[in-house]
Amino acid sequence: MPKAMQYTKGSIVYFAGDKDERVFILQKGILLLTSIDVETNQPVTEQVKSGEFFGVKSALGHFPREETATVLTESVAIIMTVQEFELIFSGNKQIIMKMLRVSSNQLRLIHKKTEAILNNVSEDQQTGMIAVAKSFYDDDQYLSCCDVCSKFLSFYPDTEKKEEVSKLYADAKLRCEKEKALNKAEDNTSDVNDSAGALKQFSLPAFERFAKKYKPGNVIISEFEPGNNFYLIQSGRVQLVKCLNGAKKNIDILKPGEFFGEMAILDNSPRSATCVAIGNVKCLEFNKENFELLITGNPQIAVILLKLFCKRIYDQKRRFRILVIKDLQARLADVFLMFDEMNPPANPNERQRKFNLTTADLAHWAGLPLDTTRDEVNKFVEKRKIEIYDNYMLIANIADMKRIVDTRAGNMLHK
């Protein structure tokens, strides 16, 4: 059961870096949340007043606290576990929708900062979608190119760029049909109805009217297109791709039971990534009109989405922490630390680490040109700190990577 806790002026509810999965509501008094801005290394403060939540993101996302909570006046806070929070507030649509929108805005802001530091030029929606289509074409992914072109023409039927996109579509379609003829013997159309991994509450027959099926390479949503729907994967996997300066970058692979496309539903903004079917995929598609109705009847959906946002915000901030490091050796070392955090070893005392990373992967995560990354990696190799193989890297001592980050990163703090 939730319990009330009294705090005296000047006391600390929790410190930044604490692993603490409690959720708080300030019943009385004033608190100050203090965190460190990643870019400037300066303190950032935010006041919490009576009736407001705090500690929600790190609790729901299961990651360390990002801020220190200091009591400014005599205060009383209601403390609850994540399970108690879900039980009490999952049915409160107003509170959950507010949290979802705040989280969506925070995630969008981090995306913009990341793009700015990568010098990715912000495109208008039409130019952006054309760049996405061309990036698929350049990578010989003609079906995906056709899908993006088709979406473009349906969204912008009267655009002055119609002829350009129609020509690209016709060329890609011709190449796609040639490939299909060559691969006719290969049949990949089975098992689309295997939804064993999907969330149980969406396996009911009532949800079948929302079902959509996609073949390998189909583009479900394209970066830059207007956002009208969001999706839950019932079976198959979906690749998240981002177009950076005309080149495609793989961001993540989503599995059954995961949502995507939800950000555009909440903040009326263009899509921030392209989602491509890996193999056969079955999704449930929901639109803006039935979104609030959906979570009203199924409050657990809103909580799942909120947890998803919390995790994505943390992951994006962790990536951003890497990108602001000026020292290139420290930046690459921090990529290794990030992957070590994501996949902790069975024996934490073991010094050596194996990461399924290539030099190209390192370049992507560090936001560096491939040639620059290769030069910096060779410095590690010469010092025998890293061994490079075709599809993986061996780190001799992960503690060396942490020392490099701690001593060279300057404005970065690592717990």
Residue-level pLDDT at 382: 96
DSSP 8-class letter at 227: -
Give the pairing type, strands 22-28 and 12-14: unpaired
pLDDT in tens, 255-314: 888 888 887 777 777 888 999 999 999 998 988 777 777 777 777 777 888 888 888 888
Q: What is the pLDDT of residue 76?
A: 97
Could you tell me the pTM of the whole model?
Answer: 0.76
Helix (H, G, I), strand (E, B) or coil at 357: coil
Nearest one of 130, 138, 11 to 77, comparing CA atoms: 11
pLDDT at 411: 46
pLDDT of 208 reads 82
Which residues of the chain have a pLDDT value below 50? 185-198, 411-415
Output the pLDDT for position 194.
44
The per-residue pLDDT for 377 is 96
* Enclosing H/E stretch for 27: strand 22-28
Q: What pLDDT is stored for residue 253 in this prediction?
A: 86
pLDDT at residue 66 in the model = 93
Sign for the pseudo-dihedral over CA of 203, 276, 162, 131: positive
Q: Which long-range contacts (CB under 8 A, 24 or more apart) does 372-381 make?
A: 372/328, 373/332, 376/328, 376/329, 376/332, 377/332, 379/329, 380/329, 380/332
